[in-house]
Chain A
């Protein structure tokens, strides 16, 4: 019995093709593209909606999503899709296992204006299905070094699993000294300080305040001070 011609080949060639493309691009992505893309996404989509597992699987990919395969397991590039606990009246409607949408997750932001915050999405876990298969092949042996770091920049990472609360010193352009508190991560009501990783200037907030963060997640980018300061913003 003839299969509908356009269904099966379509399904079976398209995914591997995309996967191959992902795999081929991984090395380049890891070193160059993804940090830039994730930073871009973090800054442009702050306060926006989360990309979902299901969207990934059904290839409703936005350009930044292309980096997930390669970057999935790197420190700080993974947020998680956070659940709706505490967000009154907002319940995830995904109930199945793989394939169930994890929905848009909002977290309460006590003191926030609209009562909800959203989860920064660069690196949200696509932990099932195809994404896993390719990350298995691609991820082994990658060092878990903050992706945003380079010769001139250091990243403050999350000391714990909790909700990020940037302090006054986390404002872009603020001069900080190593160890200064850039804010804290709220762990079940207990604050864990986020220290500045080096002397320098806050260059970018990688994660918006009120966002749920995991241990090791990149939070604040600090441009290192140099003996002769040039290129001040």
Chain B
């Protein structure tokens, strides 16, 4: 195991990593920007070192600053957390070049999974279903119509060189396809200088389901079940739960087993998450892999009792997994609520400011991962995540009942938070029946959600 770790992150995840270090008897050095001088992880760390100004580009995203800090403080490993440099293979490479260990997949593994398209092909070849699409680029209108027929409407026209939604169109009929394809070609040509297009099946009302895996250096891997992250606002997850209400037990196990087989076969290492879209019929389609610890990892910890950050550290230190699939028992139901400094009444405008009173709820199955304390000033420079309320119950109903009580008990004064949207979700029939889809909140509108909850 490592002797001393540099935590190259901030906020609740820095605190989470610090706690894992404590349980493993590893010293923790927190690298912080000037804006985080007063933060809880800085104050609780065995040591803290200021690496730069508030601007993340010169602090949390600065490889020289972080590595210099790690070297000067005598660390032997760097934990990147999530976001920032957590999946940057260049950073992982430089960390290793300085005789430090990157807590995550080794750089060559990060490199192998760096391209989304390449990863889909790679894992698709190892048994994961991917979203059906055209066989290569569309040669002409005839080819496009044939391929769309084969895939089945609706289909999404996507530019090969694309990004940011430019040149993308969803079409439901051959007629729409014929007219849209010309527009897409000219848009793609104008935006990317390349008018090659391909087709992908459009999934209406999909759900987001992801599988947690852990693979050691010796190619031994386990899955730790899945999480449902369908409650999203503009593609940002706001609530996650497990097990997913979208799939039955057999389908969940099948998906998780296929996922872990595929990553072991392709040489993945450390903890990771495979994200899938699940259509209305319950068919999963692999979309991408996250080569890091995720925000919503506590959901899985509540179900399995496995400390995923400690596991991540042990794997990075070269230890064997020490777990077989039979050791992973998924018990009960867990829900995570992301508590953000956002104003639901004003288009979720992010906020900052000084925390007044702060009270974290408790009781059976209730966990609050947060770096808040009374008097803490939330800086405006980073993401708006204030903490994660994670609630476990022996079944979904109990978990929901405990969640209501916990959300009522949670007190964060001084900042506008999104707590009301969570309360509204727990009053919403679609959520209660387990029918949330990734587009539902945006389609209904957060305002309508809140209003409906107020009437109920």
Residues of A participating in the B interface, judged by any CB pair closer than 8 Å: 53, 73, 75, 78, 80-86, 92, 94-98, 100, 102, 105, 107, 125, 127-128, 132, 135-136, 139-141, 144, 160-163, 187-188, 190, 212, 214-217
Contact = CB atoms under 8 A, between A and B. Distances in A.
Given A97-B21, A125-B48, A136 B43 contact: yes
7 contacts: A53-B46, A80-B29, A92-B74, A97-B28, A127-B30, A139-B38, A160-B52
A140 B376 contact: yes
Given A83-B72, A214-B69, A141 B377 contact: yes
Nearest to A158: B50
Contact of B53 (A92, A125, A139, A215): A215
Nearest to B66: A161
Contacts of A132: 43-44
Given A96-B25, A161-B50, A127 B71 contact: no
B45 interface: yes
B22 A80 contact: no
Given A132-B44, A187-B68, A82 B38 contact: no
A98 B44 CA distance: 9
Interface string B13-43: 0000000011001111110001001100011
A216 B34 contact: yes
Nearest to A136: B43
Query: Most A CB atoms within 10 A — which of B47, B51, B53, B64?
Result: B47
Contacts of B50: 75, 78, 161, 214-217
B25 A136 contact: no
Interface string B59-92: 1000011011101111100000000000000000
A162 B74 contact: no
Contacts of B37: 73, 75, 139, 144
Contacts of A160: 52, 64-65, 68
The 10 closest A-B pairs by CB, nearest first: A83-B74, A212-B72, A140-B375, A214-B50, A161-B68, A215-B50, A80-B49, A132-B43, A161-B69, A127-B45
Contacts of A128: 44-46
Interface residues of B, number: 42
B402 interface: no
Interface string B114-129: 0000000000000000
A196 B4 CA distance: 35
B46 A97 contact: yes
B373 interface: yes
B68 A83 contact: no
B47 A80 contact: yes
A127 B38 contact: no
Contacts of A107: 72
Given A75-B34, A161-B65, A125 B72 contact: no
B376 A83 contact: no
A83 B51 contact: no
Contacts of A188: 64, 67-68, 71, 98
A102 B44 CA distance: 15
B64 A95 contact: no
B3 interface: yes
Contacts of A75: 34, 37, 50
A127 B48 contact: yes
A105 B74 contact: yes
Contacts of B45: 125, 127-128
Contacts of B25: 95-97
B38 A187 contact: no
A127 B51 contact: no
A214 B375 CA distance: 26
Contacts of B64: 160, 187-188, 190
Given A82-B74, A128-B46, 9 more contacts: A75-B37, A80-B49, A98-B22, A98-B46, A102-B46, A128-B45, A144-B37, A161-B72, A217-B50
B30 to A, nearest CB: 8
Contacts of B48: 78, 80, 125, 127
A173 to B, nearest CB: 30
Contacts of B52: 160-161, 215
Given A97-B25, A215-B51, A163 B72 contact: yes
Given A132-B44, A188-B98, A97 B72 contact: no
Given A139-B38, A188-B64, A85 B71 contact: yes
A86 B373 CA distance: 38
Nearest to A126: B47
Nearest to B99: A85
A80 to B, nearest CB: 5
Contacts of B49: 80, 125, 161, 214
Given A83-B74, A139-B38, A161-B65, A94 B51 contact: no
Contacts of A135: 43
Contacts of B71: 85-86, 188
A216 B54 CA distance: 12
B67 A83 contact: no
B424 to A, nearest CB: 33
Contacts of A78: 48, 50
Contacts of B21: 97
B354 to A, nearest CB: 8
Contacts of A98: 22, 46
A135 B44 CA distance: 10
Interface string B206-227: 0000000000000000000000
Interface string B195-211: 00000000000000000
Contacts of B3: 92, 95
Nearest to A160: B65
Given A127-B43, A214-B50, A187 B375 contact: no
Contacts of A136: 43, 373, 375
Interface in B296-322: none
B73 A83 contact: yes
A216 B32 CA distance: 12
Contacts of A97: 21-22, 25-28, 46
A85 B74 contact: yes
Query: Most B CB atoms within 10 A — which of A53, A144, A187?
Result: A187
Interface string B374-410: 0111000000000000000000000000000000000
